[in-house]
A and B are shown apart, each in its own frame.
Chain A
C-alpha cells in the first residue's frame, strides 16, 4: 500500500494549522521517523530528533491539541496550581519543523511499515517510535469501570480524565469527610505518584478541612521513597494520613460507586466521601494491538536501543515498556526517547546504536517548601537494564541531614519546580 491522497491531505492540514515549518518537507530525506504519542517520551523524541537529525523527516502523531502533564497534577489537588499552568501546545514543536499530525493512531502495519489513522489515512515510516503511555485495566478491581471512574476518579491519565474532576470532588468535600485512595501493585505509572498525591491531599486537608482524614489502601507492602514520605507525614500531617499496606488488608478487591465503598481482600468495607482509585495498568491499546506487548500487557525492548523485541523497525519508549529497574517516569521516558531516536538514526544509516546511559530524577512535593527526590543512572547490560552500583538513591533522612534538613527539603522543592520547567520547555520546544 502506498501513501494515499488522504494521507497527504491529512499531513498537509497538520502542517498548515501551525504555519509553515522551518524545514522543507518535500521527499523523505535520509529516512522517515514517525512517533506515536506526544507525551514525555514522544514529545522529547520529536524535539531531539528535529534538533539532532536535520536530515530525517520527523512526524509526531498525537490525538490531543494540547497535553496536560501527569507531573504536577497532584499540585492541582493541593490548590497550588491550575490545570492551565501544566498544559502545553505542540505549536512550537511544529514551528521547529516537526510534522505534527493531530489524529488518533488506529493501527500499525509493520509489514507495510505504516501507521493507519482513525480517518483511514496512512502514514509511512522507515522507523517507528511508539510512546503510547498506559491504559487502565477496567474491571481488574471488580466494579471499577469507566462509568465508576466518574464517581471515583482515577486522575491518572489526563487525556482520559482531567485532574480537575478529582480536585473539585476534594474541594467540595465537607470538612470531616474521609478521602480514600486505592493504590495498585507494581508496575504502574509514576511509582512515587500516589504518595505525592497523599501528601498534597493532606496538605490541602490540613489547611482547609482540618477534621478530615485520608486513608490509603495499598496492594503493596512497600513503596518508592517510603521512609522519606512516612517521616514527612509524621512530621507534617500527624493524625491526618493513614497508609495500609497489603499485609494490613490494604488490597482493594471491589469498588461500589453507588455506596461510595471500597472492599478489601478480607472483606472490610471502607467508605469515603471522596474516593480516588488508581487501578492496575498496562501498555496503551495501540501498542498491544500492534503486537508490541507480551502476556504481561507491557512491551519488551532491547536495552541498548529500545527496539521492540517482538516487531522489527519499531522502538517502544516510556511507561509502556518493560524497563525495570528504571521507573515509569516522565524523566526516564525522555531518556528512552533520546536513545531510541539516536538508535533509529544510526540503524537507518547502517550503523550500530550508540552506547547508552539512561538517567532519572523524580522529585515529589510533600508539603510547603518540602521536596524529596530519587535519582538513578542506568546502563544496558545484555538483555537487562542495570543501575550503576553506588549511584542514585533517595534523599537523605532527616537524622542524616541534622540541622540542614529544612534547607535540604526546601531546596529540593524549589529544584522540583526547576526540573518541571526545564523538561517541559525542552519537550515542547519552549527553550
Chain B
C-alpha cells in the first residue's frame, strides 16, 4: 500500500533515475512484443494511437496494481515509474 502511494506520487524513484530516458529508448521494451510501430499481432494488442494519454497511463496503473487482467503486463508495469508511463503515453497514445 505504502509502495503504491509512493509510486503514485512519484516519490519512489527508480535507482539512478537521474533525468528521463528518451521516449524512443523507453519504448524499446514495448516494441519487442507490441511491434516496432506498436502495431501488435498474434493477439498482442496494438498500442499505436489506440488510447488517449490519460487512458494509456490509467491502463498502466491498473496493470501495476493488479486491477486489470493480463499475463505479463503487471510484472512489466511494476518496473517503470509514473513519469515513464507519461513518456510512453506521449510516444504511443493518440495525439492530443
Contacts and interface: CB of A to CB of B under 8 A. Distances in A.
Contacts of B22: 342, 354
Contact-residue bracket for chain B: 35 or more
B37 A415 contact: no
A388 B14 contact: yes
A227 interface: no
A190 B11 CA distance: 35
Contacts of B14: 357, 379, 388
A386 interface: yes
Contacts of A339: 25
A355 B75 contact: no
A373 B32 CA distance: 14
B16 A380 contact: yes
Interface string B78-92: 111000100000000
A408 interface: yes
A353 B16 CA distance: 13
Contact-residue bracket for chain A: 35 or more
A59 interface: no
B80 A357 contact: yes
Interface stretch (A131-139, A169-177, A254-262, A418-426): A418-426
A382 B24 CA distance: 23
B71 A415 contact: yes
Interface stretch (A25-33, A158-166, A180-188, A389-397): A389-397
Q: Is the interface of B mostly helix, strand, loop or mixed?
A: loop
B1 interface: no
B28 to A, nearest CB: 5
Interface string A367-388: 0000001011101111000101
Contact of B25 (A354, A377, A414, A426): A354
A393 B75 contact: yes
Contact of B36 (A376, A380, A418, A422): A422
A411 interface: yes
Given A335-B29, A355-B18, A412-B71, A418 B42 contact: yes
Return the 5 tightest CB-CB contacts between A and B, nearest first.
A377-B79, A418-B42, A359-B29, A391-B79, A391-B78
Interface of B: 3, 14-22, 24-26, 28-29, 31-37, 39-44, 71-72, 75-80, 84
Interface of A: 48, 52, 331, 334-335, 338-339, 342, 354-357, 359, 361, 373, 375-377, 379-382, 386, 388, 390-393, 395, 408, 411-412, 414-415, 417-419, 421-423, 425-426, 431
7 contacts: A331-B32, A361-B33, A375-B79, A377-B29, A392-B79, A431-B35, A431-B37
